Structures are given as structure tokens and as C-alpha cells.
Amino acid sequence: MLRIACPFCGTRDHSEFSYGGDGSVTYPALDAPMQDWHDAVFLRDNICGRQVETWQHVHGCRMWLMVERDTMTHEIFSVRPAHPGLAGALEAAE
């Protein structure tokens, strides 16, 4: 029963969001070798504690968000737009 503070819509129930995945993954270039893609797609840490993950406000503004969450306590430390340009613009506005 998480609540996520969407930077665009305000704090909303997690049922409005859908979970994406590990937000720390940098996907390789499309023409990168198979091994790089294998590592990015299949190798995941199973973190107990703080983790950056992607969520989409799918029943709201549909924005993808970077959520820093404790996987043990569900405490959420930060929420920002996944799009770096939007994140920067929001920060500048603050």
C-alpha cells in the first residue's frame, strides 16, 4: 500500500502506478555486443535496502519515474521524473 509522490500529480496510491524495473540499469547501444545486452537484460541484484527503480504513473500522467525505495521497509526517499530533461527542469523551477 505504497503512496508515491508523483512530481506532476502529487501523492497518489500505488495502485495508480505500475512497476517498471531496476532503475540503475544503463542499456547498451542497440548495436552493442550480445554479452552487453545479456548483462543489462538478465543480470539483476536482489537488493535488500535502498534501490532505485522505475515506476510509471500509468493511471495518471503516464510519466515514467525514478523512485528510490527501501525494499525492506517500503520507505520512499525520492521520486523524480525518469526523463533527465524534465527532472532538470523541475529542479530548476524549485
Partner 1 sequence: MSARRLDAGGRIDRTCPVSFRWDGLTYHGFNGDTLASALMANGQTVLGRSFKYHRPRGIMSAGVEESGAIVSVGAGARQEPNVKATMQELYDGLEARGQNAWPNVHFDLGAVNGLFGRFFSAGFYYKTFMGLPPFEWGRGTGLWMQYEKLIRKAAGMGAASRDADPDAYDHTHAFCDILVVGSGPAGLNAALTAAEAGRDVMLVEQDFELGGDYLNDPAAEAERAEMVAAVGRAGVRILTRTTAFGLYDCGVAGLVERVTDHLAAPDPHLPRQRFWTVRASATVLATGALERSVAFAGNDRPGVMTASAARSYLNRFGILPGQRVVIATTNDSAYGVAADLAAAGGEVTLADARDEVTSAPAGVAMRPGLAPLSTVGRRGVQGVRLATRSGNGWSQAAHEECDLLLVSGGWSPVVNLSSHRGAKPIWNGDLACFLAGPTDEPIHMAGSADGVWNREDCAASGVAAARRAMGEVVEAPAPGGWVRPIQPVYEVRLPGTKAKAFVDPQHDVIGDDVRLAHQEGFVSVEHLKRYTTLGMATDQGKMGNVIGLALMAEALGREVPAVGTTRFRPPYTPVAIGALAGRNVAGHFKPLRRTPLHDWNLRHGATMTEAGLWQRTWYFARAGETITEAYIREAATVRQTVGVCDVSSLGKIAVQGPDAAEFLNRVYTNAFAKLPIGKARYGIMLRDDGIVMDDGTTWRLGEADFLMTTTTTNAGRVMVWLEELLQTRWPYLRVHVTSVTDRWAGVSVAGPKARETIAACLELGTDISTEALPFMGVAPVTLKGGVKGLIARISFSGEQAYELYVPADQGEEMMDLLWPATEKLGGCLYGLEALGALRIEKGHVTGAELDGRMTIDDAGLGKMASSKKPYIGAALRQRPELTRADRPRLVGIFPKDRSQTFNGGALLCAKGRVSGFGEGWVTAVTHSPALGHWIGLGYIAGGHEAWAGKSVTAADPVRRGNVEVEIVSPHMFDPEGVRMHG
- Write the secondary structure of the chain as one string of H (helix), E (strand) and C (coil): CCEEEECCCEEEEHHHCEEEEECCCCCCCCCCCHHHHHHHHHCCCCCCCEEEEEEECCCCCCCEEEEEEECCCCCEEEEEECCHHHHHHHHHHC
Confirm or reject binding of residue 54 to partner 1 (CB under 8 A).
Answer: yes
Confirm or reject binding of residue 10 to partner 1 (CB under 8 A).
Answer: no
* Residue 46 Cβ vs partner 1, minimum distance, rounded to whole Å: 19
Confirm or reject binding of residue 12 to partner 1 (CB under 8 A).
Answer: no
* Residue 74 Cβ vs partner 1, minimum distance, rounded to whole Å: 5
Confirm or reject binding of residue 27 to partner 1 (CB under 8 A).
Answer: yes
